[in-house]
Amino acid sequence: MSAPAPGSAADLLAELDALGIQLEAGGERLRYRPREKVTADLAGRMKMHKAELLALLAKRAALDRRIAEQLAQLVPYRTADGRRGWVNPRYRDELDRLGLL
């Protein structure tokens, strides 16, 4: 019986996430934990897709930074009926004018 054809690096990253394995880029190295969850098959596939995994991790980190920057800009508000939420400050005046805040 032959081994299944290896999937894409994105598929492998999704599989690692589903297994609870944290994969990080350390320069040009891949770091993962918990080590005991990584089978020989997974380690081999990570090695085979190393360059692609590093690129995906870099994209993921850039997206995380962008999301964090956007979240840091939000300001709290309270609606007329007492509910609380967060809004981008550039939209706050317009939402208030429309009676939505």
CA–CA separation, 67 and 11 (whole Å): 23
Neighbours of 66 (CB within 10 A): 10
Please tell me the distance from the alpha carbon of residue 64 to that of residue 75, in angstroms, as a whole number: 19
> For the domain that residue 50 is a member of, what is the CATH number?
1.10.10
The boundaries of the domain holding residue 28 are 9-69
Q: Is residue 25 part of a domain?
A: yes
Domain count, the chain: 1
d(CA 101, CA 83): 9
pLDDT one-digit tens code per residue, 41-90: 999 999 999 999 999 999 999 999 999 999 999 988 888 788 888 898 88
User: Is the separation of the CB atoms in 30 and 46 below 8 Å?
Assistant: yes
Give 101 or 21, the one with higher predicted confidence: 21
State pLDDT tens for residues 12-49: 999 999 999 999 999 999 999 999 999 999 999 999 99
Residue 78 domain-assigned (yes or no): no
* Calpha distance 31→34 (Å, rounded): 10
Residue 89 lies in a domain: no
Asked whether the beta carbons of 57 and 26 are under 8 A apart, the reply is no
Question: Does 97 fall in a domain?
Answer: no
- First CA to last CA distance, the chain: 64
